[in-house]
Copies of this chain bind each other. A is one copy, B any other.
Amino acid sequence: MTGITIEPNRLLKDLYKLRSFGARGNGVVRPAFSDCDIAARKWLSERIKEAGLNPIFDPVGNLFGLPPGDGKCLLLGSHSDTQPEGGWLDGAYGVIAGLEVARAAVAAGGPAIAVVAFQDEEGRFGPLTGSRIWSGALPLADADKLTDTSGLSFAEARSSMAGLCEEAFVDPGRFTGFIEAHIEQGPVLDSHSETIGVVDSIVGIRSERYCIRGQQNHAGTTPMALRRDAFQGLVQFANEINKQFADIVTPATVWTIGHVTLHPNATSIVPGRVEFIVQWRDAEEERLDRMTAVMRDIAARTAESRGLEFERSAFSAIQPTQMDRRLMTRIEVAAEQLAAGNWRHMPSGALHDAANVSRLMPVAMLFVPSIGGVSHDFAEDTAAEHLVLGARVLATCIGA
């Protein structure tokens, strides 16, 4: 058993307090660099100081809490910004759980634990901006040119925190590893009545835009056999990938056609063009490659059989991230101790700061259930007992 004992009421009280910055009903509107995001970070820095850690804002607003001295230590945390219409837990849970474990560790006499609240994980200026910059994946000079949907630049946004921020980034060499606790944001744990997810990987994400070109025609006078209907090309493509992926995928593999635009999109006109985006996610690079190959083959055969043209563009690929085996084992042991038989290994289908941090050090993640799998929505929630259990697992594994 660990000697580090968290205080459930303090954990929940701080979570509720953090929700109050930008609260909308049960949800939160606290985008990166908004007034309430900055106010929340100031409040967090006070809690960090109270915990006996040294609060440091880096040049892009990532907030670290560092233990005294310069010894190596584990880093815990996540992000405290939210979606434009976000849930109250999301990244906030990992930040407060990390803070609670860090202060419980101080009370227990060690080990030293550092905490972090990354900035702009939710992508006001692009995906996971704060951890991307800190990890070295995105040079600061490039980041400064990014703009949000209103045209505001990242450089302007971070200047609003200039008075708070240090000029230097925190040295990642100080940390032995990073553990990010997070709500699952999906239905797997909740639908299986399980309480802890030990993440084995963060999936890779690929996406590609397709444009199918056929022949726009009169929907009354053009016989079916003479049509080159772009939308029917999409139907055949989507149906075929569903069939052929069945031989390739695991139950954790996902693929989505979420964006579709028809032209001219009129009742009485055979569609001459359709644009759509396919996104596919899996933890195995090789499986992502096979899916890519299957789709391209189906596109070519659909084009051939229907007299259509398939154009591909905007291919993007984010690599999968494997969690560190040693850190995972510590989480597994703690989960089995506190939730015997009631936890599972699972991939993270969503991206997290841990994917960036893995460039710098070993990383791991643990999930607590999302009720109904709902996330990025005001209705997002997790049972209080599961919030407490997740923090206990985190405390147990860092004390082990």
A interface residue numbers (CB < 8 A to B): 184-188, 191, 203, 205, 207, 217-226, 229, 231-232, 234-236, 238-239, 242, 249, 251-262, 265-271, 277, 279, 281, 348-351, 373, 375-376
Residues of B within 8 A of A186 (CB): 217-218, 220-223
User: Counting chain B CB atoms within 10 Å of each CB, which of A188, A220, A249 scores highest?
Assistant: A220
Are A220 and B238 also in contact (CB < 8 A) when A226-B373, A262-B259 are? no
Whether the pair A350, B218 counts as a contact (CB closer than 8 A) is yes
Whether the pair B231, A239 counts as a contact (CB closer than 8 A) is no
**Min C-beta distance of A123 to chain B, whole Å:** 10
**Min C-beta distance of A23 to chain B, whole Å:** 22
Q: In the complex, A77 Cα to B44 Cα: how many Å? A: 82
Whether the pair B268, A252 counts as a contact (CB closer than 8 A) is no
Residues of B within 8 A of A207 (CB): 267
Residues of B within 8 A of A231 (CB): 238, 257-258, 260
Q: B221, B236, B256: which contacts A268 (Cβ < 8 A)? A: B256
Task: Taking A231-B258, A259-B265 as given, write out 7 further A-B residue pairs in contact, using a Cβ cutoff of 8 Å, ordered by the A residue number.
Answer: A186-B220, A205-B220, A218-B350, A224-B254, A256-B268, A259-B267, A267-B277
Q: B221, B260, B269, B349: which contacts A260 (Cβ < 8 A)? A: B260
Are A251 and B223 also in contact (CB < 8 A) when A231-B260, A270-B258 are? yes
18 inter-chain pairs at a CB distance below 8 angstroms, sorted by A residue, are A185-B220, A185-B221, A186-B222, A186-B223, A218-B350, A221-B349, A222-B349, A223-B254, A224-B254, A231-B257, A232-B257, A235-B242, A236-B239, A256-B270, A258-B271, A259-B266, A260-B265, A261-B265
Are A258 and B254 also in contact (CB < 8 A) when A220-B205, A221-B184 are? no
**Min C-beta distance of A220 to chain B, whole Å:** 4
User: Counting chain B CB atoms within 10 Å of each CB, which of A207, A229, A260, A271 scores highest?
Assistant: A260
Residues of B within 8 A of A239 (CB): 235-236, 239
Whether the pair A226, B260 counts as a contact (CB closer than 8 A) is no
User: Counting chain B CB atoms within 10 Å of each CB, which of A232, A236, A254, A267 scores highest?
Assistant: A267
Residues of B within 8 A of A375 (CB): 218, 221
Residues of B within 8 A of A277 (CB): 267
Whether the pair A256, B349 counts as a contact (CB closer than 8 A) is no
**Min C-beta distance of A280 to chain B, whole Å:** 10
Task: List the B residue with the shortest CB-CB distance to A231.
Answer: B257
Q: In the complex, A187 Cα to B268 Cα: how many Å? A: 16
Q: In the complex, A184 Cα to B260 Cα: how many Å? A: 32
Q: In the complex, A376 Cα to B224 Cα: how many Å? A: 19
